[in-house]
Amino acid sequence: MSNPYRALAAAVILQAVADYRELRTFLKTHKPDESPVWLAWRIRSAVRELREIEAFFLSEWYRTGPGRKKKGRYCE
């Protein structure tokens, strides 16, 4: 039987990867200089979200994974 916490951790990581990819695509297709005000606000928001996800990928929790003592990537 699989550990439900590991399954949850894997789901969190997969969602972070999906969100990251979606934000990168959005930012590649929308330029702040050529956008109306409401879209420029969404672009700034996307940049903030992207930085938060990058911080998560660089965090200790992501590198070691829940319940692991050994250093290294959790998602191998």
- Per 3-state DSSP, the chain is made up of helix, strand and coil in percentages (nearest 5) of 70, 0, 30
> Tokens at residue 67, please?
């319940």
Query: Which of 44 and 75 is assigned the larger pLDDT?
Result: 44
pTM for this prediction: 0.73
Lowest mean pLDDT of 15-19, 24-28, 64-68, name the range.
Answer: 64-68
Residue with tokens 């998602």: 75
